[in-house]
Structure 1
Amino acid sequence: MTQYAAFLRGVNVGGINLKMAEVASALTAAGFSNVSTVLATGNVLLESASGTAAVRKKAEAALRENFGYDAWVLAYDIDAVRAIDGAYPFEREVDGYQSYVTFVADKAVLDELAALAAKAGPNEKISRGDGVIYWQVPKGGTLDSAIGKTMGKPRYKSSTTTRNLRTLAKVLR
């Protein structure tokens, strides 16, 4: 069995309100083991003998069936999440700034988001990682940043989700 972190896109932050206990029950009923949630923003730890793509599809199907919304899930084995977190290229804690990782499941989308580094404002940092975009912006400036303005478009919803480094630290405990 492999431990995975499953990141649910758009849960409890703008429209789709789910109780994490119900999410854990639905995923357990779908056949995942040792399911637990971290915070209320769609972070799930679970175990499966299946590969990453199958975990993603199965989790999305279970959420769609149980909660009736167009669920998008990005799944990574926990060692990959640990490596992604460890590779954060900027100073992790900077006063007045937010540090983020955007997980990206589609290579074309990753290329598009990485290209935004050329359009970043003077206080925004963007760097491409292995299947992720690392970025850092002033607090309060997330939605006005090059990444923030782009990520709200429907094209990106099915293949991206963002977490701040504090959330990742809690997932990795």
Structure 2
Amino acid sequence: MTRYIALLRGINVGGINIRMAELAETVRGLGHTAVTTVLASGNVVLETSETDAAVVKSGLERTLSERFGYEAWVVLVPWPRLTGTVADYPFEDRVGWHSYVLFGSEPATLDDLLAAAPELDPNDERVQRGTDVVYWQVRRAVGIKSPFSVLSGKARFKPTTTTRNLRTLRKILAVPDGAAPEPAVSQARPNAAG
């Protein structure tokens, strides 16, 4: 079995509201196991016997789109990669700053994003390329109005990128192996005594 974290973009914001119990049920319906949602921002831990990540990603996107009536975009991250990404976060914790990781399902898109980024004021925000991610730290007072935030929110980046706070990623990594096992199906048969 391969363990992944599926990062869904844009749910429970902007009118796309999905209950986590329904999301987990939908993902289990695809045959994935040990399905656990973390927070209500579209973080799904799953295990699968499917060996092709592209098949898992496309199956999730198609099924979520059909089930919940929106255009689903998923960045699928193998568990070991998520562990390495968090461990490699290059910026120190700073009071008054937010630490983020922008994940991408297409490395070329992350390169395009960085190439398009304006000159950033290091007193307000900074970015650094990682493996299939962009590390980003922004001063809390600047937040979503920062030049990099505005750029990364543009339509051309939405289908292949999503951003998570470093605290959220640490919560995801705290999910134990095999979490949320499937409910046991009783094998007992009715008593036929009579």
Letter of the structure 2 residue corresponding to residue 112 of structure 1: D
| d(CA) in 1 for partners of 2:152, 2:115 | 13
| d(CA) in 2 for partners of 1:67, 1:54 | 20
SS in 1 for 2:103: strand
Contact 2:24–2:35, Cα closer than 8 Å, also in 1: yes
Letter of the structure 2 residue corresponding to residue 6 of structure 1: A
| d(CA) in 1 for partners of 2:34, 2:116 | 38
Is 2:64 the counterpart of 1:63? yes
Moved more, 64-73 or 135-144: 135-144
| d(CA) in 2 for partners of 1:142, 1:130 | 24
Larger Rg: 2
Structure 1 residue 140 displacement after superposition: 3.4
Q: Report the counterpart of residue 48 of structure 1 in structure 2.
A: 48
Structure 1 residues 85-114: Cα deviation after superposition (integer angstroms, max 9, x where no partner): 1111110x2100000000011222111222
Moved more, 130-139 or 12-21: 12-21
Contact 2:98–2:138, Cα closer than 8 Å, also in 1: yes
Moved more, 66-75 or 146-155: 146-155
Structure 1 residues 112-160: Cα deviation after superposition (integer angstroms, max 9, x where no partner): 2223566112321100000000010011322222220112211111000
**Structure 2: segments with no counterpart, 5+ residues:** 175-194
Q: Report the counterpart of residue 90 of structure 2 in structure 1.
A: 89
Q: Report the counterpart of residue 164 of structure 1 in structure 2.
A: 165
| d(CA) in 2 for partners of 1:106, 1:160 | 8
| d(CA) in 2 for partners of 1:104, 1:154 | 14
Letter of the structure 2 residue corresponding to residue 26 of structure 1: T
Structure 1 segments (4+ residues) deviating >4 Å: none
What TM-score do you get using the length of structure 2 for normalisation?
A: 0.84
Change beyond 3 A, Cα 1:153–1:118:
closer
Contact 2:117–2:151, Cα closer than 8 Å, also in 1: no
Moved more, 61-70 or 127-136: 61-70
Q: Report the counterpart of residue 108 of structure 1 in structure 2.
A: 108
Change beyond 3 A, Cα 1:157–1:117:
closer
Q: How many residue pairs end up in the alignment?
A: 172
Structure 1 residue 58 displacement after superposition: 1.0
Q: Percent identity?
A: 46
SS in 1 for 2:34: strand
| d(CA) in 2 for partners of 1:140, 1:31 | 44
SS in 2 for 1:143: helix
Change beyond 3 A, Cα 1:113–1:165:
same
Q: Report the counterpart of residue 134 of structure 1 in structure 2.
A: 135
Letter of the structure 2 residue corresponding to residue 48 of structure 1: T
Structure 1 residues 51-105: Cα deviation after superposition (integer angstroms, max 9, x where no partner): 22221111111101111110001111111100011111110x2100000000011
